[in-house]
Structure 1
Amino acid sequence: MARSKVDARREHRITMEIVVDTYTEEECAMGWYCYLEDQLSFPFKARVRKTMDASPLKSGEHVTVIALAHDQLCRVAIFVMARHGEREIVVPLAQLVPVGADRNTREVVADWHYWHDQGYSF
């Protein structure tokens, strides 16, 4: 995926608050996991922003995000537990956009989208 325009303010926050003092892929993944765990307000409604191979959801569908997935699942990317109809499924956070969530939750998810869309990885 092509990198989008650099957001200096967001880059600084990610570097200084989320991945600061992380030296390995596992430390970086845990930095993101702890940041999201501390900052997200569950549950929140979300819209699928794009179809992804790692998920059964289609663009435009709506879900309720109920929790972060187990930290062991979040070693490669961040996944969340979502209620979709009567089922609870695990989906990539990069696929979802909060709808009607509080400001902090929207910003935190936007931080993850930025990191993901820039092509960064753990």
Structure 2
Amino acid sequence: MAQVQVQEDPDREERITMEAIVDAYGSEEQAMGWYYYLDDKITFPFQAKCIQARKVSPLKLGEVVEVTAMAPADDCEREMFVLIRWVDRELAVPLVQLEGIDVDDETEEAIADWHYWMARGYELG
């Protein structure tokens, strides 16, 4: 488990346990639980800003992109990725590095739930 960066939020923990990873016993089941939770809660497409540089992503801090969908489930077995329009193609980037811009409440909450999960040091296997 990675270093914890945020304090525990009991309400968020309960929502994640009951909605995202309910009945998930292994890392694969947790990943699929998260995948379908996010896919169901997030309204696509939406604009997002890069809030964290990552070596696996070409996005720069502050860059704004259009998020079009969840990446294919096979790409989300260890971390959640979303598809963006970037330059002249579609590209998958880690959801944790993005913050929604003017998104609906459900989308904002779902993204924040994933950010919280990652910041708490939880992992998908």
Q: Give, as a single letter, the amino acid of the residue that structure 1 aligns with 2:6.
A: S
The match for 2:105 among 103, 106, 109 is: 103
User: How far is 1:8 from its partner?
Assistant: 1.0
Is this contact kept in 2: 1:62–1:84, CA < 8 A?
no
Alpha-carbon distance in 1 for matches of 2:7, 2:60? 26
Q: Provide structure 1 residue ranges, at least 5 long, that are not aligned to the other structure.
A: none
Task: Give the RMSD, CA atoms, in angstroms.
Answer: 1.0
Distance 1:90 1:19 in 2: 23
Post-superposition Cα deviations, 1:24-69, rounded to whole Å, max 9, x if no partner, equal 1100000001111111100000000010111010110000000100
Question: Aligned letter for 1:43?
Answer: P
Task: List per-residue Cα deviations over 1:70-97 (Å, max 9, x = no partner).
Answer: 0000000000100123332110000000
Question: Using the alignment, how far apart are the partners of 1:3 and 1:19 within structure 2?
Answer: 21
Contact 1:39 1:105 in 2 (8 A): yes
Q: Give the unaligned 5+ runs of structure 2.
A: none
**Paired-residue identity, %:** 47
What is aligned with 1:60?
Answer: 62
TM-score, structure 1 as length reference: 0.96
- What is the rounded CA distance, in whole Å, between the counterparts of 2:4 and 2:86 in structure 1? 30
**Partners in 2 of 1:117 and 1:2 — Cα distance?**
6
Q: What's the secondary structure of 2:85's corresponding residue?
A: strand
CA contact (8 A) 1:47 1:99 kept: yes
Matching residue of 2:6: 4
Partner of 2:118: 116
Relative contact order: is structure 1 or structure 2 higher (C-alpha 8 Å, sep ≥ 6)?
A: 2
Separation (CA, whole Å) in 2 of partners of 1:106 and 1:27: 24
Q: TM-score, normalised by structure 2?
A: 0.93
Aligned residues: 122
Matching residue of 1:39: 41
